[in-house]
A and B are shown apart, each in its own frame.
Chain A
């Protein structure tokens, strides 16, 4: 599993570094990115309900954001 961690950390760092080499998208070209359906969390309530459900049924949680509160369900 350490190989998986190394690979993922490398991918994480390379994504950060790749930011410098990408052609910047100009403000007037961001019409699509501004749409609600293009947001990282397009439907926050749906994601909240999913995270609460899986938090109570699985041994892993989080990763996408911090906060949100605890629960006696796990």
Chain B
């Protein structure tokens, strides 16, 4: 981090004193806030290109602006736009013959070739999101943050608020924090909200719907402690708990229904039905992060999360970033991530004819299955002497899952039921102060 040194006045004297004391706060730290000093706006931007092999592609742009509005009081605004296109697994299993599905709208069909994972090829969306946070000191050792967010997609609207408090104790070596968020989301799916286990009718039939739109609420609470271990080491530990209520099903995902003779063949009539999930989910996680700087100035940033919920999902996530600093402001940062997930209790890759009348819930969404995600990446960054930074990163993400042996009956034993995935991620980022932008524009018009 480069600190500005050109501005004068009481506010800046106080700020320089703050730099000297280097006060610490969990989450939005004082130290990072100091960049947005004086009358300048700190501008961060990034563009992400994400592409899955033969599936979804996404371009996502972010603009983040941070401004100090009063002494040590900040407003942070973030605008995000992403464009998504491509194909997504619809939940059905591969078959030895071509399969034809009715689009969610009910107005057309799409066909998947034999022995391939059925994908919904009509996946297309544009998402715009805005979030604003107000971060302010409440007293010498207590900070508060209030936030709001709204996100709009073609078929989805999400609105939410959040609040958090961070109390410094132990000569500001320890920060205790508590956070709360509430989200209210509305689904307006194409073709309406399918009734649970509704049949996907052959075109031009219409599926049974429970309404044209539906909603859910998500509440989360987080308790955390951040501790300075020594001059080079910092640790954080969080416990969080969340609850989702309402429509938690994916309105576009289906299940294949097989004959009950053990052959693995799709049943003769109505072989596809829409999934159905519980309307409540409680989830919890324990999260630990450590940051350490070695004598050669390289920095290790490592975290571990254990997540569990009442749907039966448990997961372990290890994330490791190691930053190598070089002369002249250059740095390289390899990134490794390992994620291992167990399946939800109601995860099924297929159903047997009649089970839809005895089971309460079932979903073939691969995200509820048993799988491992591995990420390997490398980031390059360059810090300019004026505090600006430019960076690029490239990553590869692989997802490999398990076929449920109970679902791989008959001829399905020759098929791969879990849709393994491979994705590539490219990102470019630029961070600077508003006065740098103004100087550059002035230079253009001179």
| Chain A residues close to B by CB (< 8 Å) | 1, 4-5, 8-9, 11-12, 15-16, 18-20, 22-46, 48-49, 52-54, 57-60, 62-74
**CB < 8 Å neighbour of B62 from A39, A48, A70:** A48
In the complex, which residue of chain B has the Cβ closest to the Cβ of A20?
B170
Binds A, one of B96-104, B215-223, B259-267, B408-416: B215-223
What residues of chain A lie closer than 8 Å to B240, measured between beta carbons?
Answer: 62-63, 66
Contact with A along B268-291 (1 / 0, CB 8 A): 000000000000000101111101
State the Cβ distance, B423 to closest chain A Cβ, in Å: 8
Contacts of A8 in B (CB 8 A): 286, 288, 306
Which chain A residues border B317 with CB–CB below 8 Å?
Answer: 60, 63
A58: chain B residues at CB < 8 Å are 315, 339, 341, 367, 373
A32 to B229, CA, bound (A): 13
Q: Which residues of A contact B222 (CB under 8 A)?
A: 65-66
Contact yes or no, B427 A46, CB < 8 A: yes
Q: Are the CB atoms of A72 and B286 closer together than 8 Å?
A: no
CA A67 – CA B48 in complex, angstroms?
Answer: 21
27 A-B pairs (CB sep. < 8 Å): A8-B286, A11-B237, A12-B225, A12-B286, A12-B288, A19-B169, A30-B231, A36-B35, A37-B299, A38-B31, A39-B32, A41-B27, A45-B45, A48-B62, A49-B48, A53-B397, A57-B423, A59-B315, A59-B341, A60-B283, A62-B242, A64-B303, A66-B164, A66-B220, A66-B221, A69-B131, A70-B160
Q: Are the CB atoms of A38 and B291 closer together than 8 Å?
A: yes
Q: Which residue of B lies closest to A64 (CB)?
A: B287
Q: What band does the interface of chain B fall in when counting residues whose beta carbon is under 8 Å from A?
A: 35 or more
B197 at interface (Cβ–Cβ under 8 A)? no
Q: Which of the listed residues A4, A20, A28, A71 has the most CB atoms from chain B within 10 Å of its own CB?
A: A71
Q: Are A34 and B313 in contact (CB under 8 A)?
A: no
Contact mask for chain B residues 22-56; partner A; CB cutoff 8 A; 1 contact, 0 none: 11101101011011000000001110101000000
Interface centre among A37, A71, A72 (most CB of B within 10 A): A72
Beta-carbon contact of A57 and B367 below 8 Å: yes
Asked whether B236 is an interface residue with its Cβ less than 8 Å from the other chain, the reply is yes
| 5 more A-B residue pairs beyond the given contacts A37-B325, A59-B344, with a C-beta to C-beta distance below 8 A | A30-B231, A39-B32, A59-B368, A66-B162, A69-B151
Chain B nearest CB, measured from A71 CB (Å): 6
Of A24, A42, A60, A71, which contacts B171 at CB under 8 A? A24
| Main secondary structure on A side of the interface with B | loop
- Any chain A CB within 8 A of the CB of B323? yes
The answer to whether A72 and B155 have CB atoms under 8 Å apart is yes
User: Which of these, B170, B181, B341, B423, contacts A60 with CB under 8 Å?
Assistant: B341
Find residues 157-202 in chain B having any chain A CB closer than 8 Å to their own CB: 158, 160-162, 164, 169-174, 179-181, 183, 185, 187
With A66-B179, A67-B181, A70-B158 known as contacts, the answer to whether A22 contacts B31 (CB < 8 A) is no
Interface status of B64 (Cβ within 8 A of chain A) = yes
B122 to chain A, nearest CB (A): 14
Across the interface, do A12 and B149 meet the contact criterion of CB distance under 8 Å?
no
Residue B293 is within 8 A (CB to CB) of chain A in the complex: yes
Given contacts A27-B22, A32-B232, A49-B60, contact A67 B306 (CB under 8 A): no
Q: How far is the CA of A9 from the CA of B286 in the complex (A)?
A: 8
Contacts of B125 in A (CB 8 A): 72
Most buried by B among A18, A34, A41, A42: A34
CB-nearest residue of chain A relative to B189? A72
Q: Does B87 contact A (CB under 8 A)?
A: no
Determine if A1 and B339 form an interchain contact, defined as CB atoms under 8 angstroms apart.
no
Q: Which residue of A lies closest to B29 (CB)?
A: A39
Known contacts being A60-B285, A66-B180, is A45 close to B24, with CB within 8 Å? no
Q: Are B31 and A35 in contact (CB under 8 A)?
A: yes
A16 → B minimal CB distance (Å): 5
Is B138 interfacial (CB-CB < 8 Å)? no
For the complex formed, measure the closest distance between the CB of A21 and the CB atoms of chain B, giving whole angstroms. 11
Which residues of B sit under 8 angstroms from A59, Cβ to Cβ? 313, 315, 341, 344, 367-368
State the 5 A-B residue pairs at the shortest beta-carbon distance, nearest first. A67-B162, A72-B156, A36-B1, A70-B158, A30-B22
A24 touches B301 (CB 8 A): no
A46 to B323, CA, bound (A): 14
The reply on B226 being an interface residue by CB < 8 A is: yes
Q: Is A19 within 8 A of B173, CB to CB?
A: yes
Residue numbers in B under 8 Å from A65 (CB-CB): 27, 179, 222
Shortest C-beta distance, A22 to chain B (Å), equals 6
For residue B206, CB closer than 8 A to chain A, the reply is: no
